[in-house]
Structure formats: C-alpha cells, structure tokens
Amino acid sequence: MASLDGLILVFGRKAIVKINDPVRKEVNVFKLLLVLAWMLPMVAHAKQPVELKAEVLGFAALPADTFQMPPKDAPAYFQTSGRYANPPYEKLKAGAKDNAISFLSTGINPRPTGWKLPLSGQPIQGFSGVVAIDKNNFWVIVDNGFGFKNNSHDALLKIHQVRIDWVRSELTVTQTIFIHDRNHVVPFPIALETDPSRYLTGADFDPESLQVTATGFYLGDEFGPYLLHVAKDGALLAVHDLKINNQHYFSVDHPSKPTPSKPDGAPTAAIARSRGFEGMAASPDQKYLYPLLEGPIYNVHKEKWEGHQGKNSLTIFQFDTAQQQFTTRRWRYVLENKKHNIGDFNFMNDRYAWVIERDNREGDPFKRCAKRPRSNCFDAPADFKRLYLVDLNPSNKTQNEARKLAYVDLMNIADKSNKSGHAHRGVFNMPFFTIESVDAIAKDQVVVGNDNNLPFSSGRTPMKNDDNEFVWLKIKGLHTVLK
C-alpha cells in the first residue's frame, strides 16, 4: 500500500519501511529486497500486452501453381526461372531437374515441396507486403524471388494489384508492374546493365515492404538496405541509402561496401543478411514513411547487437517524403525472443500500428509427427505467430519505443463455420515460416497474408508448397486497449 507522505512496504502483516519518515530511519534492507523481488513480477505483468481474440470473416488463396510470362521486351532468358535456386546455387545443366526441399527441413528429415527446378515462366509468389485500396483490392510487393542475391538472377522484380472475392475465396491478379531502371538511377551495375530493357532482378534488390503515395510506390529493400522510389509505370525514380547525418547503416550485401578482405578482418556492416527493411508503414497523410528493420543493428565498436533489457530490439526509422531523406527520429521495437523476426508493419491510424512478429518455424501443430520425424509430418511445427498492436505515437516527440499494447495469436483464430476451409475444430491457424503482409481495412479489421516462398515452404500441408493465402480478420475487444 502507499501513502501521500511516503511509501509503506508491507511484508506479510508487518510494515517495515516508511521511506520519508524522519523519525524512523532504520531499514531492514534484506526484507526490503525480498519485498521488491516479490513486487517486480507483478509490475512486469501489468505491462504485458493483452491477448485479443480474432475471427475469420473471409479467406482467399492464389494457388502456388500460378505463373506469368515475362514482358515481351525482356530477354527470353526470363521465360525460365529458378536455375540457381537450390544449394549450392550453381546453374542447373540444360535439361536437368532438381527437387525443391522446404527451407526449414533438416538434413535428417528433408521435406520435398512437390516442385522441381527450374520453373517455366515467372512465378506469382513471395507476397511480402500489402497495401489495401479497399476491402477487395490490394497492392502487393513481390520479394527478390528465391531468397538470396546469388540465386535470384533469373527472377524479375514486380508489383501486383490483386482483387479478392471473399465470397468465393478467390484471389485474382488484375495488374502487374515490372520494375526497370531505364533512367540509369541505380548507382551500381545491375544484372541487365547492358540490356535495353534494364529490368531489375532479384540479384539487384530484395523488396520486402511497400507503400503507395501520389508519386508512385516506395519499396523497402533488404540488400542495402535501400528505400526505393518507383513510378506508377515501374520506372525507378530514386535509390535512398540508409544515411542519417554522417552515419551510414549498411548490410553485408551492400554492393559498394565490401566485406573485410581478410577472414579475420574486423566487421564493417551493421545489418545482417536478409535483415533490412522487412516492414514499412506510412502516415495517413503520406508525409512520412516508417521503414522497420527485420533484425537488430550490430554496433561494430561495442561488438554487440542493439537490445533492451536482455532482448533484441529492432529500429523503426522515419523518412520525409517531401525532403526525400531520413530524419533523425527513430523508435525501438523489442522482440519477444532473440530468434524472432518481424513480418510486416502498417498503421491503423496516425498513432497505432500493426506488427507481425514470428518465430522461424513452420508446420501445422495438428500435423505434428507423433513419434519419429518423417517427411509427411512436422517434427518442429510453428509455435509463435502473432500480430501485435503497438503505440508509436509519432506526434509525441519524446517517445522512442513502439509500445506493445495487445496481440492476436495467429495460431488460434476462431473459424467456427470453416470459412477458411482449413479450420480444425473451429480453429484456423497460420503455420507459415513467413507471414509478411498486414494492413487495416477497418478499425477492428485487418487482412493478413503469407509469403509462400515458392518452391521452398510447406507449412499448411507436408510435402506440398503453400499457396498465397489472405485472411480477413475481425479483432474483438480492440476498443478496450485503445486510448
């Protein structure tokens, strides 16, 4: 209990301290420490985000077996893709075929996904960010193709517009914009440097997040990481390095920042591979963008990762779209586990935002291997897949943390009428390695989607590559946590 003229700590039935009592000055320090140790878990618990329940309002999927041909002015080379996709990332011999294995398989228990490489055409897969136009129409960004800079030379970069019929559970691609650099904006040689089309490929950039403004598209890249500005016709307008004042934050894949020339050389990169701008929100007035790193920044001087209270923390930056540069503001997003990553990030209004946080596992727990690991079941199924509601509050100039207020467990979503077609005893889950799309379509409604990583992910059904899924969720009790 507490009083206005001082704090009284109680151990059992006996008051042992009155801090600013001038008469009583003796303090039993040992008992005080015991009381504090007893109180701290309660204080910590009070700050924990609350769980909100969600229900499925609609579901749609684009089959994994969905392809398109490259533009007519692209080299014929791009009529085939995935030549380098499998380890050791060497080109397959003419006529050769190679089985695709799930990313998260072990050497002891490999899980084929049912696909053989290379692929005919350009796959429509890898949805890594979404922007809602309305509840039926969306922009989606496609990632670099097959996961790495050195295995995605034959994957073209593109943006899709899609339409979802929630009644029929159908997802249709209505427009595709292929990204190109015919204005020679990119400051380094691209894969098609000498080809007139100058289409960009997965060897040039890895777009993982998306926003749409009056001037076109902004894409968050992981290789630089860069913020890319793209016109509505696909022409690259600008490539922004992550530079703030005199500080340049770059990844191990940055083309103009070589790794140390000696094996024992000191590291120079602050951002790990595939840990760039995975998520990116935009203010409702589109004046600012908020790109979010997927991994923590490495302090090369202190030789440690950025963190907070023993946990890794990620950085949200702010980009001024009028000034076309990063500001000095930033926010901290604290991960629940050092092995976690974020999947996407979007505002619901000018203060609160949604962030996907996930573990690096895949597989439906209802299809867990009963005894020994096998290829037709999941020996280490998905566990932690959450959608967090955070308070960013950009108008508060002193706030520097994205405060977690609540979360939705994406492994436990109510679907009593089985609108998804995947419910088990009235429960729908998203057991995917990468859940990388979220946007608000109403105050208490969101759309969430996976990156199906064709041909390398099988979280829904063993030995079958995942489809591109989108689920429309209604979140209950949201009003109880909003201020």
Is residue 370 very low, low, confident or very high in pLDDT (cuts 50, 70, 90)? confident
For residue range 141-165, list pLDDT tens digits in order: 999 999 999 999 999 999 999 999 9
Domain 55-480 is found in CATH 3.90.320 = no
User: What is the pTM (predicted TM-score) of this model?
Assistant: 0.89
* Mean pLDDT, the chain, whole residue set: 91
What b/e readout covers 304-318, taking b as 16+ CB neighbours within 10 angstroms? eebbeeeebbbbbbb
Least confident of 29-33, 47-51, 68-72: 29-33
Please give the pLDDT value at position 11: 36
Region 369-395 average pLDDT: 92
Please give the pLDDT value at position 42: 45
Torsion sign across C-alpha atoms 417, 420, 422, 424: negative
DSSP letter string, 17-64: EETT-SS-----HHHHHHHHHHHHHHHHHHTSPEEE-EEEEEEEEE-S
DSSP letter string, 248-305: E--BTT-TTSPPPSSTTPPP--SB-TT-SEEEEEE-TTSSEEEEEESSPPEETTTTEE
Please give the pLDDT value at position 240: 98
Top-confidence residue, 37 or 118:
118
What b/e readout covers 432-461, taking b as 16+ CB neighbours within 10 angstroms? bbbbbbbbbbeebbbbbbbbbbbbbbbbbb
Least confident of 36-40, 108-112, 239-243, 424-428: 36-40
Give residue limits of the domains in the chain. Answer: 2-46, 55-480
pLDDT at 12 over 80: no
Give the count of beta carbons closer than 10 Å to the beta carbon of residue 11: 14
Query: Measured between alpha carbons, how far is residue 374 from residues 108, 110, 160, 360, 364 in Å?
Result: 9, 8, 37, 19, 14
Top-confidence residue, 3 or 447:
447
Backbone angles phi, psi at 62, to 5 degrees: -105, 120
pLDDT at 7 over 60: no
Percent of the chain with pLDDT over 90: 80
For residue range 455-471, list pLDDT tens digits in order: 999 999 999 999 999 99
